Structure 1
């Protein structure tokens, strides 16, 4: 299916992404100029795995570089559960965070609120469904329009939630495993990112899940809210066992 010679891309939620050759056109928002400046900053500071921004088209849509490859979709493929994918994701997140630390905050408009401590520009949705895979390895990250200043550990908690994973058994988006395995993978993630304790990631995860549940509830998705609350309750209940396994 094509639209105006463009090819609609899967995902994107409300952004309606359409590919035209090597570029993607998506619905923009008032935060888009700030996000484009952020992407350009990342690329100029060593994190070139993000799309290059190209401004706006005649319809007012944002224009971004198309990153070739496959983006994992649910149900997540086995590749996503490999240790190599987990460690690649953590290392890429570290590069993005480090490159963002010097991005000027004054005058910027963000889709999500800024949070304290303001250490980096947090991606706020660094997850498998936003990672581009080529030849079995992570080659890029897309959909950074949720970014806003905040702490490193919040992004790490989200990534651990998706990849350890820290989901309850009833959540089909995760993978059922015991505290020992989740703790082991949490340690792998923390070590690959560097300079962070698994305990700090785990402590940040429960309030993050509660916040996501509140957002889902407000958006009229009570089923999603219930899943996140169940994940948060399960994690709070066995956090000590997970941490013991993480060492």
Structure 2
């Protein structure tokens, strides 16, 4: 999870958690630790280009020391606490449209069944399309206030398109209780209205709209398990983040809030 920007032609790129401090820009290239699925991912990214999706990095090569090189995508990436410009209605609609474009290309490509895709944030029901699974503000490149590209496909795995929409909604609506949202997002965001905007811009069907709040609850449970695994392993980044952001009480509060407002979200999506 690493953000990119146009601040310099070379040097470390700031942002993210998993690869913080290990991602560098080298002119027109980005060099970063290669994920375990790098070869399959590189094939997938190249196939995206062939199917008309040009809003993702182009893989260049894998190095002998376990790193990968990809093309640098110029633009603006928001880092937490997130600025107002990344929460505008225009920004939100552009994210939904960009995700739909990605999914249309991914559906045409299919999934490499031989690759051992990560299960960390993967759809527990699986699927025949490769989901990004981490479309957070840190991983979306903006130009002129609109989402222009997606980066960091490290957690990509097979799943349902609706799962990826749910994961995206968690970050972009955001689907957080007010206290949790206030720590990272500007005040005054209307979650039900923003969820409807995301669904409209993506083009969800009535059936998918009715299912979305429940899938968001399911995705939140998976995200909690992801954090729990990292904390149990003693990952200092996640241990610190858990402590600074309210501990497990915050996760309890988020999950209770989602369940309590389930029908409100369904109504907002279907009315």
With normalisation by structure 2, the TM-score equals: 0.82
Give runs of aligned pairs for residues 89-128 of structure 1, distance below 5 A. 89-101=95-107, 102-112=109-119, 115-128=124-137
> 94, 112, 121: which one pairs with 1:88?
94
Residues in 1 aligned to 2:178 and 2:253: alpha-carbon distance in whole angstroms: 9
Do the aligned residues in 2 keep the contact of 1:183 with 1:245 (CA within 8 Å)? yes
Q: Quote the offset at 1:127 in angstroms.
A: 1.5
* 2:99 is the alignment partner of 1:76: no
Structure 2: give runs of 5+ residues left out of the alignment: 1-8, 232-238
Taking structure 1 as reference, are residues 231 and 109 closer, same or farther at Cα in structure 2, changes over 3 Å only? same
Give runs of aligned pairs for residues 78-227 of structure 1, distance below 5 A. 78-101=84-107, 102-112=109-119, 115-171=124-180, 172-174=183-185, 181-196=190-205, 197-220=208-231, 221=239, 222-223=242-243, 225-227=248-250
Give me the CA root mean square deviation.
2.1
1:8 match:
12
Do the aligned residues in 2 keep the contact of 1:213 with 1:229 (CA within 8 Å)? no
What secondary structure is seen at the aligned counterpart in 2 of 1:157?
Answer: helix
Aligned residues: 241
12-21 or 70-79, which deviates more: 12-21
With normalisation by structure 1, the TM-score equals: 0.89
Any idea what the Cα deviations from partners look like across 1:156-200, whole Å, max 9, x if unmatched?
Answer: 11221222221111211245558xx32222111111111333322
* 2:52 is the alignment partner of 1:29: no
Residues in 1 aligned to 2:265 and 2:187: alpha-carbon distance in whole angstroms: 14
